[in-house]
Amino acid sequence: MKTLITNAYVLDMLGDTANIEKKDILIHDHIIEKIDYNMIELVDEKINAKNMLIMPGLVNTHTHLAMSIFRGYKTDRKLMDWLENAIYPVEDQLEPEDIYWNSYLSCLEMIKSGTTTCNDMYFGMNKTIEAIKDIGLRAIVAWNIKDDAIKDKVEKTREYATIYNEDKNSKIKIYVSADAPHTCSPYTFGLCVDLAKELKTGLHIHLAETLEEEEIVQNTYKKTSTEYLNDLHVFDVPVVLAHGIYVSDNDIQILKHITGGISHNPISNCKLSSGICNVAKLRENGIVVGLGSDGIGSTSTMDMFEEMKTAAYLQKVNTMQPGIISAYEILKMATIEGARVLGLDKEIGTLEPGKKADMIFIKMDKIHLCPENDICANIVYSANGADVDTVMIDGKMIMQNRKMIYVNEKEIMRHVKKIVKRLL
């Protein structure tokens, strides 16, 4: 199947400055075959993308998809209080079908706001994988492992990694997840690292999200979380480190050498009063930083446009330097650098021949995006998820003119509301 997209302004996210040109995009099955001026090609389908800006689909590097039922639930609390007194008691009652519908809602919200890839960590992940597959998203998935009930999760991780990681065309990949330094013993981390090595995959970990957690680790092990992980040889494998707020200068020297990177979750970090990650400093030191939403429970939104804005605002006001990070750099964090954090930068994150056809169309002829002095600034500071008109993942149209092609949205909401009624 060949598709030709014409008349679009293409923001390819290649290079150090924005490159936006009126070009056509030729897609062959799952792959971008060619991007060029005024192409004439015999194709199966032509799409006229007039007034649209096409850019790579957004990459959300840290999610808990099944937590959508917790939107706005017992909000305005600190992380540990919120988890222990609001979330954990309900999570214990979640049935597999709940995980499916809750995950589905998060996926739907992501696609409707331009995210085409996510990196998820939770439990009951077989049902989350089902939802991701049914809706057609690209994702890395990991069973969250803490010190308890390890065996079952290790087996599940191995079983699903065998299915998905060896299938070159699969949009789903399996990572190993060790929850966090304050919840996983050296034994657990050792086991997770060995498993990741065996499966030739990476590790998804919460790192230094709150001062309280960091203090627990430092009191227990007399070292920082990052030093703890480093001493356990965790960084021998690729890692996605969510949050990374409380890192010392020495930690940064360690993190410079990791494969993978940090997932910065600005909204969650604000809403839970966790703190502000010094993204500017991490980036100055060559550490790759992507953006993530965390679960809907803590952020209340999966809209990566909101994460982009908030990330920019926080760095500018925290460093008191408005030029510390540009709109284009924020867009890189939400696309190619997010892909790099996930080890997917050879497949996605930019628009260029040979890469997977994951792209979003942003409708530009709108009042709140006028005038167009700086299109990247408009996308980051003026647009929001509702400006995403069309979403293509792996060469397949998922949403067009804001309508999900294969999904009955009302039915998904009905299912989720039923779960909420039962549990909350």
Among positions 262-291, residues that touch a copy of itself (CB under 8 A) are: 266-267, 269-276
**Closer residue to a copy of itself (CB): 244 or 395:** 244
> Judged by CB under 8 A, does residue 19 bind a copy of itself?
no
> Judged by CB under 8 A, does residue 416 bind a copy of itself?
yes
Q: Distance between CA 4 and CA 399 in Å, rounded?
A: 17
**Closer residue to a copy of itself (CB): 25 or 375:** 375
> Judged by CB under 8 A, does residue 306 bind a copy of itself?
yes
Q: Is beta strand 388-393 parallel, antiparallel or unpaired with respect to 31-36? A: unpaired
- Please state the closest distance from residue 277 (CB atom) to a copy of itself, in A: 11
Q: Which DSSP symbol is given to 68?
A: G
Q: Distance between CA 305 and CA 339 in Å, rounded?
A: 17
> Judged by CB under 8 A, does residue 420 bind a copy of itself?
yes
Q: Distance between CA 322 and CA 239 in Å, rounded?
A: 30
Give the CA distances from residue 28 to residues 11, 113, 293, 354, 355, in Å, rounded to whole numbers and listed in that order.
20, 25, 32, 10, 11
> Judged by CB under 8 A, does residue 300 bind a copy of itself?
yes
Q: Is beta strand 260-264 parallel, antiparallel or unpaired with respect to 239-243? A: parallel
**Closer residue to a copy of itself (CB): 129 or 377:** 377
Q: Could you give phi then psi for residue 325, rounded to 5 degrees?
A: -145, 135
| Selected binder of a copy of itself within 3, 113, 226, 265 (CB under 8 A) | 113
Per-residue interface string for the shown chain with a copy of itself, residues 342-371, x marking contact by CB under 8 A = -----------------------x-xx-xx
**Closer residue to a copy of itself (CB): 184 or 302:** 302
| Selected binder of a copy of itself within 146, 158, 281, 316 (CB under 8 A) | 316
- Please state the closest distance from residue 349 (CB atom) to a copy of itself, in A: 23
**Strand ranges inside 302-401, DSSP E:** 359-363, 388-393, 396-400
Q: Distance between CA 333 and CA 325 in Å, rounded?
A: 11
> Judged by CB under 8 A, does residue 65 bind a copy of itself?
no
> Judged by CB under 8 A, does residue 64 bind a copy of itself?
no
> Judged by CB under 8 A, does residue 310 bind a copy of itself?
yes
Q: Which stretch binds a copy of itself (CB under 8 A): 31-39, 102-110, 137-145, 150-158?
A: 102-110
Rg (CA), the chain: 21
For residue 330, give the nearest of 280, 256, 386 by alpha carbon.
280
Give the CA distances from residue 96 to residues 88, 128, 258, 420, in Å, rounded to whole numbers and listed in that order.
16, 9, 35, 14
| Selected binder of a copy of itself within 314, 344, 351, 393 (CB under 8 A) | 314
Contacts of 404 (CB under 8 A, 6+ apart): 108, 111, 112, 398
Contacts of 194 (CB under 8 A, 6+ apart): none
Q: Which stretch binds a copy of itself (CB under 8 A): 127-135, 173-181, 352-360, 380-388?
A: 380-388
> Judged by CB under 8 A, does residue 386 bind a copy of itself?
yes
**Closer residue to a copy of itself (CB): 232 or 380:** 380
- Residue count, binding to a copy of itself (CB under 8 A): 71
| Residue ranges in 124-183 that form contacts with a copy of itself under rule CB under 8 A | none
Q: Could you give phi then psi for residue 196, rounded to 5 degrees?
A: -60, -40
**Closer residue to a copy of itself (CB): 370 or 405:** 370
Contact of 165 with 201, CB cutoff 8 Å: yes
Q: Which stretch binds a copy of itself (CB under 8 A): 35-43, 178-186, 322-330, 345-353?
A: 322-330
> Judged by CB under 8 A, does residue 293 bind a copy of itself?
no
**Closer residue to a copy of itself (CB): 341 or 377:** 377
Which amino acid, one-letter code, is at 153?
K
**Closer residue to a copy of itself (CB): 244 or 266:** 266
**Closer residue to a copy of itself (CB): 31 or 270:** 270
Contact of 103 with 128, CB cutoff 8 Å: yes
- Please state the closest distance from residue 281 (CB atom) to a copy of itself, in A: 16
> Judged by CB under 8 A, does residue 327 bind a copy of itself?
yes
| Selected binder of a copy of itself within 151, 168, 222, 410 (CB under 8 A) | 410
For residue 192, give the nearest of 179, 183, 206, 208 by alpha carbon.
179
> Judged by CB under 8 A, does residue 321 bind a copy of itself?
yes
Q: Distance between CA 347 and CA 357 in Å, rounded?
A: 9
